[in-house]
C-alpha cells in the first residue's frame, strides 16, 4: 500500500513538472528496462500522463518485448554489414629523382636527388595502407638524367613479369621529372599488361617546405588501384592531374605544376583519393604494340640534334657516325638551313624531323628532305624513344613513318 502511494506521489510530481514518467522499482535488475523506457520516451513514444497507473508488470512486459525487437533489429543490422573487399596489391618501383631527394631544411633547390629509399617514401605516407597493400622494389636510386636504356628495359620486364600475379592490381614508378616523359612513353610502348602503370615524382625534395612528393605518391597509388585506370596505357599522375604517357611533358624548371600535356591536356583528375577520367589516347599502346624488349639488354643509339641559327651542319655527320638514327629538333614546323638539307640528303640512316617548339604537328608536307620521317606531334625526346624502338624492328623509312602515325 505504501509503495502504491509513493508511486502516485512521484507520478503526480513528474506530471506537474512536464517530465516523462519513469517507474521506480526496488529490484536493481530492472535498470535496463528503465534505460529502454527513457529511450522510447525520448523518441516521442512515451505514454500520456493518464496512463501512469498502468500495472507495473504490464509495463515491464511491454518494455521487454520492445527490447527483444530492438535486439533483433541490431542483429539484422550487424548481419547486413559486410567487410570491404581489399584492393589488389600495388607495387611501387622506385628509381630516385627529386621525390627521393634530400637537402637543406625548407629549401627547394640544391638538394641531392635519389637519396631516400622506396621504404622511406612509403613510410612518409601511411595513408597508402588505406588504399591497397603495398610492395616496394628499389630498381635504382639516381637523378633521372642518369636513367639509361638498360633501366627502361629492366622496368618493362619487371612489370611484365609481375603483372602475371593475380594478386597485383597495378604499379607505381617514382621517377625524376627531367626525363619522366621519356620513361613513360617507352613503357607505354613496351609494357604488355592492361593493369595500370603510373609514373610520378615531385618538383620539391622531401625536405623542402610543402613538399609535393607525398601527395603525388598517394594519388598515384589511388590511380594504380582503380579499376577505371585499367587498359588506359601508362599514365603520369602529378599535382591532382592524370596524363597519358604519350602527351605528357615537363614545362617548367621550378613550378610545382611543371608537368603538363600541351594541346591535349590532362585526361583525368584525382580528388581526395577518388579517380575521374574524361579522355583517353586513341594511339596504340602497351598490349597493342609490336615492340618486345624481353630479349634485349640495350637499344639502338639515336642522337637528337637541336637546330639554331648558324649551326654547323658538320654536327650531323659526327652524329651519323655514332648513331643508328637521328632526330632533328627543327625550328618552326621542323625547318633548318640549306647546309642542314645538304648533309641530311647524304645520310644513310633514318632521320626523323620534329620541332623545338613544344606544341604542334609535323606532317609529311612539312618535310624539307625526301626520305625523312615526320614526327607527327611527338617532341624530339619522345621521337627519339620511338625511333630507338622502331630500329629494333626495321630500318625502312616508310615503315618507320607508319609507326610514327600509329604510336
**173-229, pLDDT tens digit by residue?**
999 999 999 999 999 999 999 999 999 999 999 999 999 999 999 999 999 999 999
| Residues 361, 236 share a domain | no
pLDDT at 86: 54
Per DSSP bridges, beta strands 134-142 and 249-250 are unpaired
Q: Does position 36 have pLDDT exceeding 60, yes or no?
A: no
Across 75-79, 106-110, 330-334, the highest mean pLDDT is recorded for 330-334
Among 11-15, 244-248, 399-403, where is mean pLDDT lowest? 11-15
pLDDT tens-digit map of 14-24: 333 443 333 33
| Residues 73, 30 share a domain | yes
Q: Does position 5 have pLDDT exceeding 60, yes or no?
A: no
pLDDT at 262: 87
For residue 69, give the C-alpha cell: 525487437
| Residues 205, 94 share a domain | yes
| Residues 169, 62 share a domain | no
Spatial distance between the Cα atoms of 247 and 235, rounded to a whole number of angstroms: 10
Per the listing, cell 517530465 goes with 19
| 3-state SS, one letter per residue, for 301-356 | CEEEEECCCCCCCHHHHHHHHCCCEEEEEEECCCECCHHHHHHHHHCCCCEEEEEC
Q: How many CA within 13 A on the CB side of residue 133?
A: 9
> In terms of DSSP H, where are the helices of 18-106?
31-40, 56-80
| Residues 312, 225 share a domain | no
Q: Does position 68 have pLDDT exceeding 90, yes or no?
A: no
| Residues 246, 219 share a domain | yes
Q: Tell whether pTM > 0.85.
A: no
| Catalytically annotated residue among 33, 95, 98, 207 | 98
| Residues 143, 44 share a domain | no
CATH number of the domain to which 136 belongs: 3.40.50.1170
Question: What is the domain count for the chain?
Answer: 3
Cβ burial of 81 (10 Å; 0-12, 13-18, 19+) is exposed
pLDDT at 21: 33
pLDDT at 209: 95
Domain boundary among 54, 80, 106: 80
Residue 45 carries which DSSP code? I
Could you tell me if residue 218 is inside a domain?
A: yes
Task: Note down the domain range covering 282.
Answer: 89-288
| Residues 347, 217 share a domain | no
Could you tell me if residue 293 is inside a domain?
A: no
Burial state string for 176-189 with b = 16 or more CB within 10 A and e = fewer than 16: bbbbbbbbbbbbbb
**Range 136-153 average pLDDT:** 98
pLDDT tens-digit map of 250-306: 999 999 999 999 889 999 999 999 999 999 999 999 999 999 999 999 999 999 999
Could you tell me if residue 295 is inside a domain?
A: no
For helices 338-346 and 314-321, angle between their N-to-C axes, nearest 10 degrees: 30
pLDDT at 65: 40
| Residues 264, 158 share a domain | yes
| Residues 99, 39 share a domain | no
Domain boundary among 57, 80, 103: 80
pLDDT tens-digit map of 40-61: 333 433 333 343 333 434 434 4
CATH number of the domain to which 335 belongs: 3.40.50.40
Spatial distance between the Cα atoms of 407 and 389, rounded to a whole number of angstroms: 11
| Residues 16, 131 share a domain | no
Could you tell me if residue 387 is inside a domain?
A: yes
Could you tell me if residue 194 is inside a domain?
A: yes
Closest CA relative to residue 215, chosen from 182, 183, 241: 241
pLDDT tens-digit map of 324-383: 999 999 999 999 999 999 999 999 999 999 999 989 999 999 999 999 999 999 999 999
Rg (CA), the chain: 34
Q: Is 177 a catalytic residue?
A: no
| Residues 319, 262 share a domain | no
Amino acid at each position: 500500500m505504501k509503495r502504491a502511494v509513493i508511486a502516485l506521489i512521484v507520478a503526480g510530481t513528474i506530471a506537474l513538472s512536464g517530465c516523462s514518467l519513469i517507474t521506480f522499482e526496488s529490484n536493481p535488475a530492472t535498470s535496463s528496462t528503465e534505460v529502454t523506457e527513457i529511450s522510447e520516451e525520448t523518441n516521442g513514444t512515451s505514454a500520456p500522463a493518464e496512463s501512469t497507473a498502468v500495472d507495473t508488470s504490464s509495463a515491464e512486459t511491454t518494455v521487454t518485448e520492445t527490447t527483444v525487437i530492438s535486439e533483433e533489429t541490431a542483429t539484422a543490422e550487424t548481419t547486413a554489414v559486410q567487410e570491404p573487399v581489399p584492393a589488389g596489391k600495388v607495387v611501387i618501383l622506385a628509381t630516385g629523382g627529386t621525390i627521393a631527394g634530400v637537402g637543406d631544411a625548407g629549401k627547394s633547390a640544391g638538394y641531392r636527388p635519389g637519396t631516400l629509399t622506396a621504404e622511406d617514401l612509403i613510410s612518409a605516407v601511411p595513408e597508402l595502407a588505406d588504399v591497397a597493400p603495398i610492395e616496394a622494389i628499389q630498381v635504382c636510386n639516381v637523378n633521372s638524367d642518369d636513367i639509361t636504356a638498360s633501366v627502361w628495359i629492366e622496368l618493362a620486364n619487371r612489370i611484365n613479369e609481375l603483372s602475371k600475379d593475380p594478386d597485383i592490381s597495378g604499379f607505381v614508378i617514382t621517377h625524376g621529372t627531367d626525363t619522366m616523359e621519356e620513361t613513360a612513353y617507352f613503357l607505354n610502348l613496351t609494357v604488355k599488361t592492361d593493369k595500370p602503370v603510373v609514373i610520378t615524382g615531385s618538383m620539391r625534395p622531401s625536405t623542402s617546405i610543402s613538399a609535393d612528393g607525398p601527395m603525388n605518391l598517394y594519388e598515384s597509388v589511388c590511380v594504380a588501384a582503380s579499376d577505371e585506370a585499367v587498359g588506359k596505357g601508362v599514365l603520369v599522375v602529378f599535382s591532382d592531374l592524370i596524363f597519358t604517357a604519350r602527351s605528357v611533358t615537363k614545362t617548367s624548371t621550378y613550378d610545382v605544376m611543371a608537368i603538363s600535356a600541351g594541346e591535349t591536356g590532362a585526361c583525368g583528375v584525382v580528388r581526395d583519393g577518388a579517380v575521374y577520367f574524361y579522355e583517353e589516347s586513341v594511339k596504340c599502346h602497351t598490349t597493342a604494340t609490336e615492340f618486345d624488349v624481353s630479349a634485349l639488354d640495350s637499344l639502338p643509339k639515336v642522337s637528337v640534334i637541336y637546330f639554331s641559327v648558324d649551326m654547323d651542319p658538320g654536327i650531323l655527320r659526327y652524329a651519323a657516325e655514332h648513331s643508328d638514327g637521328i632526330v632533328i629538333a627543327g625550328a618552326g614546323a621542323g625547318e633548318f638551313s640549306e647546309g642542314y638539307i645538304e648533309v641530311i640528303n647524304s645520310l644513310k640512316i633514318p632521320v626523323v624531323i620534329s620541332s623545338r617548339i613544344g606544341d604542334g604537328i609535323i606532317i609529311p608536307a612539312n618535310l624539307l628532305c625526301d626520305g625523312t620521317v615526320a614526327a607527327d606531334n611527338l617532341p624530339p625526346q619522345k621521337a627519339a624513344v620511338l625511333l630507338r624502338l622502331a630500329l629494333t624492328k626495321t630500318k625502312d623509312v616508310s615503315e618507320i613513318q607508319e609507326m610514327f602515325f600509329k604510336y
